[in-house]
Amino acid sequence: MSNSNKTEKVLDILRKEFKDKVRIDIIERVLYERDATTIEIETKLPKAVIFPTTKEEVKRIVEILYNEDIPMIPRGSGSGLTGGAVPIRGDEVVISLEKMNKFSIDLENATVIAEAGAITYEIQKEVEKYGLFYPPDPSSYKFSSIGGNIAENAGGPRCVKYGTTREYILGLEGVIKYGKTFKFGARVIKDVAGYDFTRFLIGSEGTLGIITSAILRLIPLPKERRVLLAFFERLEDIGKAVVKIFTNRIFPSALEFMDYVCIQSVNRYKNLSLPEDVAGMLLIELDGNPQAVLEDMREVENLLRTMGVKVEIAHTKEEEEKLWSARRALGPAISKLGTGKVNEDIVVPRSALPEYIPAVRKLAEKYNLKCAIFGHIGDGNLHVNFLFDKEKKEDIKNVNLAVEELFKLTIDFGGSITGEHGVGITKKPFLKLQLGEIGIELIKGVKQLFDPKNLFNPGKIVDV
Amino acid sequence: MSNSNKTEKVLDILRKEFKDKVRIDIIERVLYERDATTIEIETKLPKAVIFPTTKEEVKRIVEILYNEDIPMIPRGSGSGLTGGAVPIRGDEVVISLEKMNKFSIDLENATVIAEAGAITYEIQKEVEKYGLFYPPDPSSYKFSSIGGNIAENAGGPRCVKYGTTREYILGLEGVIKYGKTFKFGARVIKDVAGYDFTRFLIGSEGTLGIITSAILRLIPLPKERRVLLAFFERLEDIGKAVVKIFTNRIFPSALEFMDYVCIQSVNRYKNLSLPEDVAGMLLIELDGNPQAVLEDMREVENLLRTMGVKVEIAHTKEEEEKLWSARRALGPAISKLGTGKVNEDIVVPRSALPEYIPAVRKLAEKYNLKCAIFGHIGDGNLHVNFLFDKEKKEDIKNVNLAVEELFKLTIDFGGSITGEHGVGITKKPFLKLQLGEIGIELIKGVKQLFDPKNLFNPGKIVDV
């Protein structure tokens, strides 16, 4: 029997069992061919899209597909940026977790049990009603799912203080090879019984199995948040300012950087009048007890002013909203600089930034691309944006070459090719540069252990 | 050639190359036969103890031993409590990392690069001079090493707010099979390139390879710390109090519990007069901005008093020290209750405590043992201590039976058999109870991948 015929047969079996939870119509398949990746990638239509509603259904579906050698792609909200949730062979079945979106709050243990498809923002809104806090805030948090956030170890601006998704996952349930189920972790912060598979699955991009639910850790919601903007004439002063803030024992909840290109773009886009004749801007957020936030804010202001740095403080909630809105408008604002945009999420040690940023600009110049850089400076995570004309073949060729050089440059600076977007397919060719032979060997070994037939999200992270 | 002769031959080669860094004298071997485990375990003398001073030396030593099939036991300060660093076969070579104890502070990136043998406390003291903070505080922190803390994912009282060792390790270097070296992570908070081997090695108890150095993450040192004691008449009020504190948006830096047996012991041992006619006591520590700490402390006091809970506050540094000293004196104070003591570090969800603690007491009664319970209630981590007469064979038999039942009970309550001590050899028989077939299968698979000859710390965590 040809592979294609075999797939049809298996899909028939699934449709008998799961009725209209299995979709093979062209509209549905087209809708699930893409995610939010902006770089040029080659995708293929999936054979079907399945929408399980319970973990038992996921188990049964994986059991059938795994035994019949049919590759599957677990998918949350499809907001990923590296092609992690897209079919690339044409024989895959997409398993969408979006109908599994229930969650329940366990106040006594300050935890949430969430199905993989639960929307991060829905959980955040709900727990905040009780004065509790789930910190991870990737920019997609309003529509991305917990399962997707876990698969990518999603970050966001608050990571400098609160850490990434990984720091808030206490346990996982899911399905691996042949439909075997696993359950790691518990509703407790400490657990060192055996190897840490809970954290290992975080960031594994759906290549090891399918996560069906997670135990999330909640912390008390800070009572107050305040924002100030600092404008730097010299890039090297930014790192110095962060050292001063830290060593003065103040812990900001966000340290967001924008270069002058970003400031110009956002001024035009939002009709703002932020100073443009600077090397860069830092949005500094403090949170906690209201008195403490006020006091610390004054201290940060003083520290910065003694360095000769210009400071703008939000005195009202409206002013604060205006400052954050400048940060949030960055994506669309920068997009105006070209018809095409590639947003890379590299990471370099903070100390390297004064050398790294000019090197990236030089690289953009070499390939005749516009370049806008912003990012989460507290953790060294920079979003390097190359803007180009997507109708021009030359530009597309150049941007691909520039991205390749960017990754090499990043590794030379002791950094990482991805801070929060994951490897997916777009960064796969560069992973070995960073992890070396042994890293790739170990990845392939673990993949083989969890998924000996290479059926979970095949072709992502590494080729096996 | 017999195995023993072969080992002698390989040791000769090593002694030629490494001179007196290789010790085969009986005194050294006896000194390195044990760790700090209190439960009865069967150990054997190691064949030799080697003290490398550089990572290149570790690489070379592993290369030689691995190729010649000689098992090795990586060892930090030997303060482990589950037999993780002891030889149990008699053919092992101990590789002590204690001479590799250098570390350097990188202020710009708020990180430390530390060799595996660096003492946690030495690092903490040094970074505090700059207003920075390395939070993990296992009770052995004054003498335990970073490498050992990493191998066990060590915890401590502050984990409720700051997390465990895992949350402060950004990267690892070390040596695996055949002397191959690895380097994972970087001096950045975010890094999602490939599977997360950095965190996977944390808590792997030296069974996958030898960690030679780590990149530690530092955060700003809180400006102030304050302590209060709360005395509860009913166990169930403790969990309720924690819920009230959290949902009132206050985040304690420690929530330490002692039962009435502990209070009595500590009163006698330190000549204190803490109230004894209670179900338990909670030591609550708050940290941060001084104003905020004062204000939050008042709020916690009010919350507790409205619940009818008796509160004692430290108004001076001396009073605070006295309250913490009661907590710190617990180990020796409880030891007075018997000539033998077994201290288990189980974890159960906080909500289960009102049922779990009486069940543990009933268990102790059944086996005619004294029982004292204290722990880190914020993360559900309880230290259950069974006291007995170590000269009585009957008592030793009973305590082993009690521990076995304790683990089963803990798993029934949805908990974990170890929160911070690890599995080692003492908890190995119980791991499958918690992780199931699939958990053990995956552990064995990963062990096979990193260490196909089973030469790194063989017989720990699982038998392969």
Residue B325 pLDDT grade (very low, low, confident, very high; cuts 50, 70, 90):
confident
Nearest to B189 among A130, A160, A461 (CB): A160
CA distance B56 to B34: 27
Report chain B's terminal Cα–Cα distance, integer Å: 25
Q: Are strands A72-75 and A93-96 parallel, antiparallel or unpaired?
A: parallel
- From the CA of B203, how many Å to the nearest CA of chain A? 6
Residue of A nearest to B382 (CA): A190
> For residue range A37-89, what is the model confidence (pLDDT) as tens digits?
877 789 999 999 999 999 999 999 999 999 999 999 999 999 999 999 999 99
Give the best-scoring range by mean pLDDT among A152-156, A444-448, B334-338: A444-448
Question: Model-level pTM?
Answer: 0.96
> For residue range B120-129, what is the model confidence (pLDDT) as tens digits?
999 999 999 9
Nearest to B192 among A181, A192, A420 (CB): A420
Q: Are B127 and B105 in contact (CB under 8 A)?
A: yes
Which helix (H) or strand (E) segment is B219 a member of?
A: strand B219-220
Inter-chain Cβ pairs, chain A and chain B, closer than 8 A: 304
Q: Do B439 and A188 touch (CB under 8 A)?
A: no
Please tell me whether residue B160 adopts helix, strand or coil conformation: helix
- Burial class of residue B420 in the structure, from the number of CB atoms within 10 Å of its CB (0-12 exposed, 13-18 middle, 19+ buried): buried
- From the CA of A273, how many Å to the nearest CA of chain B? 31
> For residue range A208-252, what is the model confidence (pLDDT) as tens digits?
999 999 999 999 999 999 999 999 999 999 999 999 999 999 999
Instruction: Decide if A202 touches B, using CB distance below 8 A.
Output: yes
- From the CA of B8, how many Å to the nearest CA of chain A? 31
SS (HEC) of chain A: CCHHHHHHHHHHHHHHHHHHHEECCHHHHHHCCCCCCCCCCCCCCCCEEECCCCHHHHHHHHHHHHHCCCCEEEECCCCCCCCCCCCCCCCCEEEECCCCCCEEEEHHHCEEEEECCCEHHHHHHHHHCCCEECCCCCCCCCCCEHHHHHHHCCCCCCHHHHCCHHHHEEEEEEECHHHCEEEEECCCCCCCCCCCHHHHHCCCCCCCCEEEEEEEECEECCCEEEEEEEEECCCHHHHHHHHHHHHCCCCCCEEEEEEHHHHHHHHHHHCCCCCCCCCEEEEEEEEECHHHHHHHHHHHHHHHHHCCCEEEECCCHHHHHHHHHHHHCHHHHHHCCCCEEEEEEEECCHHHHHHHHHHHHHHHHHCCCEEEEEEEHHHCEEEEEEEECCCCHHHHHHHHHHHHHHHHHHHHCCCECCCCCCCCCCCHHHHHHHHHHHHHHHHHHHHHHHCCCCCECCCCCCCC
Residues 409-448 of B with CB under 8 A from A: 414-423, 427, 431, 434-436, 438-440, 442-443, 445-446
Instruction: Decide if B223 touches A, using CB distance below 8 A.
Output: yes
Q: Who's near A323: CB < 8 A, 6+ residues apart?
A: A227, A228, A229, A283, A312, A314
- Residues in B closer than 8 angstroms to A436, CB to CB, are 182-183
Percent of chain A with pLDDT over 70: 100
Count of beta carbons in the 10 Å neighbourhood of residue B382: 25
Residue A303 pLDDT grade (very low, low, confident, very high; cuts 50, 70, 90):
very high
Instruction: Decide if B256 touches A, using CB distance below 8 A.
Output: no
Instruction: Decide if A193 touches B, using CB distance below 8 A.
Output: yes
CA distance A81 to B175: 34
Average pLDDT over residues B395-399: 93
Instruction: Decide if A106 touches B, using CB distance below 8 A.
Output: yes
Q: Are B146 and B102 in contact (CB under 8 A)?
A: no
- CA B258 vs CA B235, B331, B378: distances in Å: 11, 12, 13
Instruction: Decide if A131 touches B, using CB distance below 8 A.
Output: yes
CA distance A171 to A202: 10
Q: Are A414 and B187 in contact (CB under 8 A)?
A: yes
Q: Who's near B224: CB < 8 A, 6+ residues apart?
A: B287, B288, B289, B290, B293
- From the CA of A63, how many Å to the nearest CA of chain B? 15
Q: Do B106 and A152 touch (CB under 8 A)?
A: no
> For residue range B127-166, what is the model confidence (pLDDT) as tens digits?
999 999 999 999 888 999 999 999 999 988 999 999 999 9
Is the predicted pLDDT of residue B327 greater than 90, yes or no?
no
- Residues in B closer than 8 angstroms to A351, CB to CB, are 106, 108-109, 187
Of A35, A74, A68, A85, residue with least CA distance to A52 = A74
Report chain A's terminal Cα–Cα distance, integer Å: 25
Quote the DSSP letter at residue B177: G
Q: Who's near B123: CB < 8 A, 6+ residues apart?
A: B103, B112, B114, B134, B146, B216
- Show the tokens assigned to B226: 């304050």
Please tell me whether residue B316 adopts helix, strand or coil conformation: coil
Residue type at A319? E
Average pLDDT over residues B398-414: 95
Q: At what angle do helices B431-450 and B393-412 cross, to 10 degrees?
A: 90
Count of beta carbons in the 10 Å neighbourhood of residue B317: 10
Count of beta carbons in the 10 Å neighbourhood of residue B435: 24
- From the CA of B392, how many Å to the nearest CA of chain A? 31
SS (HEC) of A299-316: HHHHHHHHCCCEEEECCC
> For residue range A155-210, what is the model confidence (pLDDT) as tens digits?
989 999 999 999 999 999 999 999 999 999 989 888 899 999 999 999 999 999 99
- Cross-strand bridge partners of residue A310: A231
Count of beta carbons in the 10 Å neighbourhood of residue A358: 12
